[in-house]
A and B are shown apart, each in its own frame.
Chain A
């Protein structure tokens, strides 16, 4: 072997040695910025097949996820809810930073699949239909919880989870908590704080806290005084027996 060939090999090895720590730090920085978060393990390998797994490993994760998403869409047209849930699991594992996948998966399960289960003509027992419906609510909730775990830096899924608790579980306390979390994000819309307070107003035992929050929003000015806010405040004033001189003044004609 000639000297220059040895030099080439040594150069590659020395560069490999020099870049090792730098690359590890850069990988850590990437991960801290939520890059490369997909867990490409044997479980996924079984779900997407060898070719899909190879593609996902080789930098084509998003395309594999899209293909599976389209497949799930086709299953939706056939109302194959179980298969859809499995496909959604795989899609969200491949693309955990894609908010749309989490949102839509949760929506399909908690809204569409749960409704279908509650009206299932093949199931005569109401109790079992309601049980199935509840299980789909839980599936939807699980998607959102896992979505939040993968996207703790974004408010959107907290908002969706709050909405799910409110609409499907009727759990206003949990909804208030999630809206409150969503409102803490600097880029979250201003109405998030209002929604958190509305839900808190419906949460037993938290009326005083809700009143103070709603009052604080009311005091921000005309722009914040939405009809629902005024309505909730009026209700709470009665419930909490707020003295007349401390009650808010509402526009004429407001009911």
Chain B
């Protein structure tokens, strides 16, 4: 009857992935990464207070731009810096050996690590979104209060409607989702790079480079796809840039959303689908390299 004490080992276990993801998130939180939220708060309060001399449209515009821009920068930095440290830190602490000595497949380990970072990014994005929404709401109330003094009673409703139309728009939500997706994609790329990188500095440098090139990848793709007579060598170079680097400009929707652009639902889901595909492919590529890595 000894078999009743033995648990059957599964090749893929969500519970194991959950544990690794949870621990990764906890480790990152212990590194006090959320301190950057203070900086974020200062930025939005600062930009909000600085704009008192502007029209309410200008105030809302700057508040939205600064907040969403800061969200974009912070989530990207968080994604790259926290992911670049994951593997080197686990090797240094010898945690990696302890985990992999157990029957934990390397794919689960990587997936758990990535999910931990994605959770961290999700929490950070939600917290920043809440702070941004709070600041925007406060500013809206202040503007409404100031406007009501100078408006006749029959124009009150129209004035309030105009102010509200300038503050919260439904398309801000897809904008924030796109920021999260871009950061998640950067985390997956960084994880892939860290599987073959020799140091975390190298990982960060290459990830930053991918970020910048990713934003102009579409130019390379269009050059390749255009039928015009270009230099053959340049075309081949652009072709490889297109193949290797992700198109991050597709996730950069927030600039135009803040300017009042509405995003169609189908287009948004296509963008989300593309982002998820990127995550899957970079994770798989990371696994292929990591599976062979001598530790």
A contacts, CB < 8 Å to B: 2, 4-5, 7-8, 11-13, 15-17, 19-20, 22-24, 26-27, 29-30, 33-38, 54, 57-63, 65-66, 69-70, 73, 95, 97-100, 104
Contacts and interface: CB of A to CB of B under 8 A. Distances in A.
Interface in B247-274: 247-250, 252-256, 258-264, 267, 270-271, 274
B132 to A, nearest CB: 14
Contacts of A22: 274
Of all A-B residue pairs in the complex, the 6 with the closest CB atoms, nearest first, are A16-B243, A8-B288, A97-B259, A98-B259, A63-B69, A62-B65
B194 interface: no
B40 to A, nearest CB: 14
Contacts of A104: 55, 58
B11 interface: no
B57 interface: yes
Contact of A12 (B66, B244, B271): B244
A62 B68 contact: yes
Contacts of A54: 212
A33 B250 contact: no
Interface of B: 53-55, 57-58, 61-62, 65-66, 68-69, 72-73, 182, 192, 196, 211-212, 215-216, 218, 221-222, 225, 242-244, 247-250, 252-256, 258-264, 267, 270-271, 274, 277, 281, 284-286, 288-289, 291-292
Contact of B250 (A5, A23, A70): A23
Contacts of A23: 218, 221, 247, 250, 274
8 contacts: A12-B243, A15-B277, A16-B244, A20-B221, A33-B263, A35-B253, A36-B256, A63-B65
A32 to B, nearest CB: 9
Contacts of B281: 11-12, 15
B65 A27 contact: no
Contacts of A11: 281, 284-285, 288
B66 A24 contact: no
Contacts of B255: 38, 59-62, 95
Given A15-B281, A23-B218, A36-B249, 5 more contacts: A20-B242, A24-B222, A62-B254, A95-B259, A100-B61
At the interface, is chain B mostly helix, strand, loop or mixed? Answer: helix
B274 A26 contact: yes
Contact of A99 (B69, B260, B262): B260
A27 to B, nearest CB: 6
B61 A66 contact: yes
Given A4-B291, A63-B65, A30 B54 contact: no
A50 to B, nearest CB: 13
A35 B66 contact: no
B207 to A, nearest CB: 13
Contacts of B292: 2, 4-5
A24 B225 contact: yes
B38 to A, nearest CB: 20
Nearest to B251: A59
A17 B256 contact: no
Nearest to B281: A15
B267 A29 contact: yes
Contacts of A97: 256, 259-261
Given A13-B243, A19-B274, A58 B288 contact: no
